[in-house]
Chain A
Amino acid sequence: MRVLLTGATGALGRSTAEALLREGHDLTVLQRRPSGLDCREVLGDVADGGATAAAAAGQDVVIHTAAKVDVVGPWKEFARANIDGTRSIIAACLAGDVPALVHISTPSVAHAGHALMGVGAEPADVRGTRGHYARSKAIAERIALRADGDRLAVLALRPHLVWGPGDPQLVGRIVERARRGRLAVIGAGAALIDTTYIDNAVDALLAAARVCGPVHGEALVVSNGEPRPIAEILERLCRAAGVGPPRRHVPYSAAYAAGTVIDAAWWIAKRRTTPPITRFLAQQLATAHWFDQRRTRELLSWTPRTSLDQGFEQLRASYTTSD
């Protein structure tokens, strides 16, 4: 397959690119900085039509993982990367006769703050989302799915809380905070939460790239299908990294209030550093979100190959070797 992958410098993008290369696909990657991957590379901004057109022309499938993922930052940066970037990719696909687009989204596009228990991929809810990231991704997913048609098959994949060795986003931040004794469990710690071990997410992306065409026009949540209480996940992550688990509980109401204050303070001061808590984060960490994986597994002909237990073991091994 001739494949264009955007965002190859992100954790998921990079792992996916490596897997595509291992499988012998004809890979092109598009991102702003050199990836160091041994393949054709187009350097540029996904929102830049010229770059995307050059990269996409003649591909069999585009896997669009590039996105701005953050809890802070001005709206226009999110809008440019996530919304304009998606528009630009779609235009490039249509102009370059690419038949299939796998758009990487997030379950946050349909998470309005209430508990999600065993649900499928509900439609993206722009108004209900919290925070610039989720809102811009919700708009982007709707744009992507609206582009699904005779000339271009679009499949939106929503990997949920991807983690694994060498992941700075989720594991890195949690472990770092725990190491400094600053990690607390928000609420009772019982919220049941799905996560995705990175190898499984990569497999699912590759599976989506294979089936996109016959399967198209819908969003699918991807997870390990092994939800656990958030307190247990945090404790097992910490243990794998060799740091002490969180001992403190912060009531949800306090975390939410603090998140509200901090959101406002960061906005007023235009701070760009990662805040200790945001309203979005408080909700994410204290509210159940786990998903019915039956349709995803059926349509993608995919099942997670690495269990949660195996994932924690591999994470532990990675910390042992890096120490």
Chain B
Amino acid sequence: MTPLGGLPGLPGIDPSWSRSVPVTDGDGRTRTWHVLDSDPLAGPDVPTLLCVHGNPTWSYLWRRLVANPPAGWRVVAPDQLGMGYSERLDHPRGLTQRVQDLGDLTAALRLTGPVITVAHDWGGSISLGWALAHRAQLRGVVLTNTAVHQPADAPVPVLIRLAHARALREAVCVRTPLFVRAATALSRPALPRAVRAAFAAPYPDAASRRSVGDFVAGIPFDPAHPEHATLGGISAGIRTLDVPALLLWGPRDPVFGEQYLRDLRDRLPHADLHRYEAASHLLPEDAPAYAADIAHWIADLQTRVAPAPTPARPAVTGSAAGPPLWQALLDRAASSPDEVAVAEVGGARLTWAQLRDRVATAAAGLVGAGVQQGHRVALLVPPSIELTVCVYAIWQAGASIVVADKGLGVRAMGRALRSAEPDHIIGIATGLAAARAMRIPGQRLRAGALPAGCIHPTLQPSPDAEAAVVFTSGATGPAKGVVYLHRQVRAQLDVVRAAYGLTARDRIVAAFAPFALYGPALGIASAVPDTDVTAPGSLTAAALADAVAAIDATVVFASPAALRNVDATATGLTHGQRASLRAVRLLMSAGAPVPRDLLARLSTLLPSAQAHTPYGMTEVLPVTDITLAGIDAADIDAAGEGNGVCVGRPLPGADVRIDPLDATGNLHSQLTSTPGAVGEICVAAAHGKDRYDSLWATERAASSEPGFHRTGDVGALDEQGRLWVMGRLQHIITSADGVVTPVGIEQRVEALAGVRSAAAVGVGPVGAQQIVIVVVPDGARPSRRHPVAPLALAESVHAAAGAPIAAVLQMRALPVDIRHQSKIDRRAVAEWATRALAGRA
């Protein structure tokens, strides 16, 4: 099968990588291997990535790594014997012999220098077998969608059942190309036809597919299988590996599901993990970034002090520094036991003493149910007293809360919760049913009916113990899990308390997810309005007023969408409801900057309230804060040249720097506080996240500046130290004259009469983009077929924009992200504009 004179022309392959290597195997027979080799002339000591494919693929799978080897590394990707373009075999070859074969090959290639193994599918156990036999030269292991053990809780994959059904196996794997073709059919979006053909190229007939069938038969997951002991030795042996490990995972794999990933993490607890949420089984195809991510990981190994410093779930210690998150709750229960601590609209309320006792009882119940220190507990409970009790009970039990937002939608929420791998789920009945449907792992516990327990947890979580996993909005791709440690939550509480001058005399109504839970931790009475805090825009003015009345609230926290609806429904308020709103002293809107005019209207509804809008994100909140008066002052300062939204000064504890963009939109990691420099906003704060969860590559990119979080937002600091936000990094326009940010242009265009909303986007190639404004006009519905704006409107936009505009188009509504329904999806706008401006129709 070895192609004479190189490989046939296949996409992505350089024929010069292809080489044949004769190797004498354990039986004394010389077998010819086919190998893709990035540097066949390399000396024996050159560090090498040894890439092992699975079944029924071949080394073609690794072409992106061979094409772009990590700096200083050689990439060697053999076709296993009987597969790809390596020699065909007469007999099945077992795992033991294949591990031996791989060793014979590396000996023949004289790979005596450092080696990192990289493997996919059934190449995993073979590569790990090689790794255990070559520890002296092993520098790391990389695994993608593979398994070394059949976990007890995993359904036996169909392929393994196929191993036992000989006739069917022959039909599927050997006599027909069904299996060979099916392996490349799982990707969404589908792989290019030419790539699928390349994967099938070495397997044109039954004889060439002999080993594909034998390989399936050879999977030794069954204890009765003759090779079972070898696999057991490998799967047990890797627990002793002390080299760095990287797991790259495609969660949409129908063969190797989450249980296999859990099993691998259990065996390699120090492994770095990156989940490519959109990827399926053929990870190197579905996530082409894997090659660059491996290169980054290897580059970092040089600077890594000790192998694997990241404990996945920091332990809990008995001697905690600083008070626990529930200290304020205990203090209030001692000092004012009979005052209201938490209230629900419509009656239910607990005093501080009652809350303390409910939490303690629930914590004991959780411990009795098996919740342990370091566990993760997912919460599928709507905002309520019950949710508050659960959160503090989980913390007292030493565990971490996992909270996903229903606003993500069921599928994204399921993906998010699965990615966090909770050990337990607490939910109301519908929540638990949803958890089952979403295949979220973990023991299911019914909220409000937790088992009774008698062991009261007494240990305090360490400041470095994990407190929470929350999720980003998913406005730009799958929601990302964000991990907070106890000290970071505590720092966040301190920042909020200081920024808004909160004292025990305050009472909070919180219609914004994280703050809805913080009342007890702040030692401040709280009420949750009668609304779904995860559904933006469902909070009515009446519901807010009732919640305020329930505890005579002095402070209101709500999302911009909620506040917009409060404003819209204010006419229905009764006299009494209006009266209770008048007593509120502080209104804070969070989530996205709130337009000035909305804040101003809300000020008439809550006349005593100082209106604040902070800037921040799931990863660090809050970063800056500004009042309505501050916004007005900034508008005056910036008159004529305002180029974004002023979000105020950084709060104490938040260090805001800018990484300036160059003329072609690139960053150079040179953080500055220089006024006027426009670039990515970077934030260092004690109350920021610890890391992204299960997203090694994302975390690496976001924290490339030690101590700072790259926000992905573009902005600048002004002379007064105020931060101006100008858009998202991926929405900047790179024109021939340099970088243009969209928000300032949009604000100027939106100020025009007849324009309801506007988006500024770039069309064309990076560095030569033209600026296009898409407006939603007031009144008349623009024609879908003729999107060019009337000349009069176009001319006023040209005049107002303050930048050269190529085209002014009209849309009936701008696409927005699903969750906040407030952030313009400029990428979708740009795609639409590009299509329209390409012409025809």
Q: Report the nearest B residue to A118, measured CB to CB.
A: B764
Q: Is B295 an interface residue (CB 8 A)?
A: no
Specify the main secondary structure of chain A where it touches its partner: mixed
Residues of B within 8 A of A287 (CB): 838-840
- Whether A117 lies near B764 (C-beta < 8 A) is yes
- Whether B788 lies near A232 (C-beta < 8 A) is yes
- Whether B770 lies near A192 (C-beta < 8 A) is yes
Chain B proximity mask over A223-242: 1 for CB below 8 Å, otherwise 0: 00111111110011001000
Chain A nearest CB from B234 CB (Å) reads: 53
How far, in whole Å, are A189 and B791 apart by their CA atoms in the complex?
12
Pick from B806, B809, B840 the residue with the most CB of A within 10 Å: B840
Pick from B736, B764, B791, B809 the residue with the most CB of A within 10 Å: B764
Given contacts A226-B806, A290-B770, are A192 and B837 in contact (CB under 8 A)? Answer: yes
How far, in whole Å, are A229 and B770 apart by their CA atoms in the complex?
12
- Whether A252 lies near B841 (C-beta < 8 A) is yes
Chain B proximity mask over A114-128: 1 for CB below 8 Å, otherwise 0: 010111000000000
Q: Is B794 an interface residue (CB 8 A)?
A: yes
Q: Is A67 an interface residue (CB 8 A)?
A: no
Given contacts A188-B786, A232-B791, A293-B736, are A252 and B767 in contact (CB under 8 A)? Answer: no
Chain B nearest CB from A24 CB (Å) reads: 33
Residues of B within 8 A of A294 (CB): 736, 767-768
- Whether B763 lies near A252 (C-beta < 8 A) is no
Q: Is A173 an interface residue (CB 8 A)?
A: no
Tally of A interface residues using CB under 8 Å: 32
Q: Is B610 an interface residue (CB 8 A)?
A: no
Within A176-235, the residues touching B (CB, 8 Å) are 187-192, 225-232, 235
Q: Is A251 an interface residue (CB 8 A)?
A: yes
- Whether A190 lies near B806 (C-beta < 8 A) is no
Chain B nearest CB from A53 CB (Å) reads: 42
Q: Is B29 an interface residue (CB 8 A)?
A: no
Residues of B within 8 A of A249 (CB): 785-786
Q: Is A286 an interface residue (CB 8 A)?
A: yes
Within A274-306, the residues touching B (CB, 8 Å) are 286-288, 290, 292-294
Residues of B within 8 A of A115 (CB): 838-839
Residues of B within 8 A of A229 (CB): 788, 807, 809, 837
Q: Report the nearest A residue to B834, measured CB to CB.
A: A117
Q: Is B787 an interface residue (CB 8 A)?
A: yes
Instruction: From B765, B786, B834, B840, give the contact of A292 (CB < 8 A).
Output: B765
Residues of B within 8 A of A236 (CB): 791
How far, in whole Å, are A188 and B785 apart by their CA atoms in the complex?
6
- Whether B807 lies near A228 (C-beta < 8 A) is yes
Chain A proximity mask over B758-798: 1 for CB below 8 Å, otherwise 0: 00000111011110000000000000011110010010000
Residues of B within 8 A of A188 (CB): 785-788, 836, 839-841
How far, in whole Å, are A118 and B771 apart by their CA atoms in the complex?
12
Chain A proximity mask over B79-109: 1 for CB below 8 Å, otherwise 0: 0000000000000000000000000000000
Q: What size tier do the contact residues of chain B reach?
A: 20 to 34
- Whether A190 lies near B769 (C-beta < 8 A) is no
Q: Is B804 an interface residue (CB 8 A)?
A: yes
Residues of A within 8 A of B768 (CB): 118, 292-294
Chain B nearest CB from A161 CB (Å) reads: 14
Chain B nearest CB from A243 CB (Å) reads: 14
Instruction: From A117, A232, A252, A293, give the contact of B840 (CB < 8 A).
Output: A252
- Whether B841 lies near A117 (C-beta < 8 A) is no
- Whether A226 lies near B839 (C-beta < 8 A) is no
How far, in whole Å, are A188 and B736 apart by their CA atoms in the complex?
27
- Whether B791 lies near A191 (C-beta < 8 A) is no
Given contacts A118-B768, A228-B806, A292-B765, are A189 and B788 in contact (CB under 8 A)? Answer: yes
- Whether A187 lies near B839 (C-beta < 8 A) is yes
- Whether B791 lies near A288 (C-beta < 8 A) is no
Residues of A within 8 A of B791 (CB): 232, 235-236, 239, 245
Chain A nearest CB from B620 CB (Å) reads: 36
Total A-B Cβ pairs within 8 A? 98
- Whether B839 lies near A191 (C-beta < 8 A) is yes
Given contacts A231-B788, A232-B807, are A191 and B736 in contact (CB under 8 A)? Answer: no
How far, in whole Å, are A232 and B805 apart by their CA atoms in the complex?
13
How far, in whole Å, are A189 and B834 apart by their CA atoms in the complex?
14
- Whether A288 lies near B736 (C-beta < 8 A) is no
How far, in whole Å, are A232 and B788 apart by their CA atoms in the complex?
8
Instruction: From B767, B769, B794, B804, give the contact of A232 (CB < 8 A).
Output: B794
Within B808-841, the residues touching A (CB, 8 Å) are 809, 834, 836-841
Residues of B within 8 A of A286 (CB): 839-840
- Whether B764 lies near A290 (C-beta < 8 A) is yes
How far, in whole Å, are A245 and B736 apart by their CA atoms in the complex?
32
Chain B proximity mask over A19-45: 1 for CB below 8 Å, otherwise 0: 000000000000000000000000000
Within A90-119, the residues touching B (CB, 8 Å) are 115, 117-119
Pick from B786, B791, B841 the residue with the most CB of A within 10 Å: B841
Instruction: From A192, A245, A293, give the contact of B806 (CB < 8 A).
Output: A192
How far, in whole Å, are A230 and B785 apart by their CA atoms in the complex?
15
Residues of B within 8 A of A225 (CB): 736
Residues of B within 8 A of A239 (CB): 791
Chain A nearest CB from B499 CB (Å) reads: 45
Q: Report the nearest A residue to B769, measured CB to CB.
A: A118
How far, in whole Å, are A189 and B786 apart by their CA atoms in the complex?
7
Residues of B within 8 A of A251 (CB): 841
- Whether B770 lies near A190 (C-beta < 8 A) is no
Residues of B within 8 A of A226 (CB): 804, 806
Residues of A within 8 A of B769 (CB): 118
How far, in whole Å, are A48 and B804 apart by their CA atoms in the complex?
47
- Whether A190 lies near B763 (C-beta < 8 A) is no
Q: Report the nearest A residue to B804, measured CB to CB.
A: A226
- Whether B839 lies near A230 (C-beta < 8 A) is yes
Residues of A within 8 A of B804 (CB): 226
How far, in whole Å, are A187 and B788 apart by their CA atoms in the complex?
11
Q: Report the nearest A residue to B785, measured CB to CB.
A: A188
How far, in whole Å, are A115 and B834 apart by their CA atoms in the complex?
10
How far, in whole Å, are A267 and B786 apart by their CA atoms in the complex?
34
How far, in whole Å, are A82 and B770 apart by their CA atoms in the complex?
34
Residues of A within 8 A of B809 (CB): 190, 229
Within B571-630, the residues touching A (CB, 8 Å) are none
Chain B nearest CB from A241 CB (Å) reads: 15
- Whether B806 lies near A227 (C-beta < 8 A) is yes
How far, in whole Å, are A231 and B788 apart by their CA atoms in the complex?
8
How far, in whole Å, are A2 and B840 apart by their CA atoms in the complex?
46
How far, in whole Å, are A20 and B528 apart by their CA atoms in the complex?
80
Instruction: From B764, B765, B767, B807, give the contact of A190 (CB < 8 A).
Output: B807
- Whether B837 lies near A187 (C-beta < 8 A) is no
How far, in whole Å, are A231 and B791 apart by their CA atoms in the complex?
9
How far, in whole Å, are A239 and B837 apart by their CA atoms in the complex?
22
Instruction: From A117, A231, A293, give the contact of B763 (CB < 8 A).
Output: A117
How far, in whole Å, are A286 and B838 apart by their CA atoms in the complex?
8
How far, in whole Å, are A226 and B767 apart by their CA atoms in the complex?
15
Residues of A within 8 A of B836 (CB): 188, 190
- Whether B807 lies near A192 (C-beta < 8 A) is yes
Q: Report the nearest A residue to B809, measured CB to CB.
A: A190
Residues of A within 8 A of B807 (CB): 190, 192, 227-229, 232
Chain A nearest CB from B665 CB (Å) reads: 14
How far, in whole Å, are A235 and B806 apart by their CA atoms in the complex?
15
Residues of A within 8 A of B770 (CB): 118, 192, 227, 290
How far, in whole Å, are A231 and B790 apart by their CA atoms in the complex?
10
How far, in whole Å, are A225 and B806 apart by their CA atoms in the complex?
9
Extra contacts besides A228-B806, A288-B837 (13): CB < 8 Å: A118-B764, A187-B841, A192-B763, A192-B770, A192-B839, A227-B807, A229-B788, A229-B837, A286-B839, A286-B840, A290-B764, A292-B736, A292-B767
Please name the 5 residue pairs, one residue from A and one from B, whose CB atoms are nearest each other, closest first. Answer: A191-B839, A118-B764, A292-B768, A115-B838, A192-B837
Q: What are 22 A-B pairs with beta-carbon distances under 8 A?
A: A117-B764, A117-B838, A118-B764, A118-B765, A187-B839, A187-B840, A188-B785, A188-B836, A189-B786, A189-B788, A190-B839, A190-B841, A191-B837, A191-B840, A192-B770, A192-B807, A229-B837, A231-B786, A232-B788, A232-B807, A290-B770, A294-B767
